[in-house]
Structures are given as structure tokens and as C-alpha cells.
Amino acid sequence: MANTISNLFFILLAAYGIHNARRELMPTRYIVGFGGFALIGFGSLAFHATLLYHYQLLDELPMIYVTAGSCWFLYDDSPGFDITSRQSMISLVLSITFDVLFTWSYIVYRNPVYHQVAFGTLAISTAFMIRHLLKWSEVRFRIPDEKKSQIGNIFGYGAGLFLLGFLVWNLDNIFCDGLTRFKVSIGWPLAFLFEGHAWWHVLTGLGTYYMFTGTHLISLCMKDDANKFTVRYHLGLPSIKRADKKTQ
């Protein structure tokens, strides 16, 4: 039950991201990205509630789609948010082609390690692309130092939370038998605090939100005037605001 309920937090984070992006009139690509984030949570919730194979795919495949989409955000550094430029079109077609081919191959070759390697490779590529853009690419001259620091801190904090969740998940798997006996002995609701897989959902949800926000910010700074955007925090969560737009 805890593994199912914990996905609600994941979905709420995505809904919060969609709400902020719509309120700030952000380009559609970022709203769609948060929509993919929500789909991961819905898929995971449905899978843990039913343990049906097709819902597991609805959990795992959007992880690939969202991360591949983030790579597209980072590769598409030409000014403007339409997709008519050669670079935008090529990078988008490559991202969609990868998603289609991975979906087909993963249905044919149903191996969790294959999914983990693909997802890990995309996630690491995203981190390296952000570092490259901030440190060595021509793009760095378009982004003020303050914004560079914000991007690095937000994305890095998210990556740390994600890795912490991964550690908790693995510890839960390693010590599963002992933890199960302990949880039975203390009973509910305290046992919920020791549900490692549920904490994996919470921590990776937070980590994904932070990393996607960092990716969102660097993409905006590359494709528009970086001074038009600022970062605000509410309940510890960062969100991107338009500096020239008054919001309630």
C-alpha cells in the first residue's frame, strides 16, 4: 500500500510544475515535460496497485521519454521556441526516433537491466551536457554567472536526492527480510517510515522535479534572454518565474 500511495507525492510535484509553467506562460515543451513527469507517477501508482505488466510499461517507458526529452531541451540551443530551425527539427526527430526504437526493443527484449542501463546513460548524459554548456560551450557567454550558479545548484541538488533514493532502494532490497520482520513487529503507521521503496518514490520524485527545473532554466536562458527569468522558492521547491510578469 505504501508503494502505491507514495506515488501521489510524485504526481503532486508534477501537477505543481504544470501549474507554475502554465501560470508563467512558459513554452509548451516545458508543460509537456511536466506532463511526462506526471505520467511516470500515474504508471507507477497503477503498477503497484495492480502488478499488471502493461502498467509497469506505463511506469518505465515515460522515464525514458522524459529523460530523452531533457536531452533534446539541452541540445536545442538555438534562439526561439519554434521547431522550424534545422537544429530543432533534427534534435526532435532524433529524440522521438530513439523513444520509438527503445519502446519497440524493450517490449521485445524484456530485461530490466536493459531499461536501467538506457535510463542511466540518458541521465548521466543530461548531467554532462549541462556541465558542458555551463563550462565550455559558446552558450555560457549568454548566461549570467548568477544564473549558472542557480542552474548548477538546482540540478545538482536534484541529482543528489535521486542518488539518495537509489541508495535507499538498494538497501531496502538487500535487507528486505530483516526490515519486513521489523515492520511487522512495530505495526502501522510507524512501519510506513521504513518502507524503503516508498522513500525511493518520494526522493526520486523530488530529485526529478529539481533536475527538470534546472534543465528548464538552462534551456530558457539559452533560447531567450536569461534576465527575463528568476527562480523563486515555495515550501522549499524552486519554480521559474518571469521577472517582468506580476503574479498573485
Binding site: which residues?
Answer: 48, 197, 201
Separation of alpha carbons 113 and 121, rounded Å: 12
Tell me the CB-side half-sphere exposure of residue 124, using CA atoms within 13 A: 6
Please give the DSSP secondary-structure letter assigned to residue 109: S
Please give the DSSP secondary-structure letter assigned to residue 230: E
Residues 218, 143 contacting (CB under 8 angstroms) = yes
Residues 37, 38, 42, 45: is their CA dihedral positive or negative? positive
* Beta strand ranges found along the chain (DSSP E): 229-234, 237-242
* Beta strand ranges found along 92-183 (DSSP E): none
CB atoms under 10 Å from CB of 150, counted, come to 22
Binding residues for Zn(2+): 48, 197, 201
Residues 10, 201 contacting (CB under 8 angstroms) = yes
Separation of alpha carbons 238 and 218, rounded Å: 14
Query: Which of 1, 54, 16 lies closest to 205 in space, CA to CA?
Result: 16
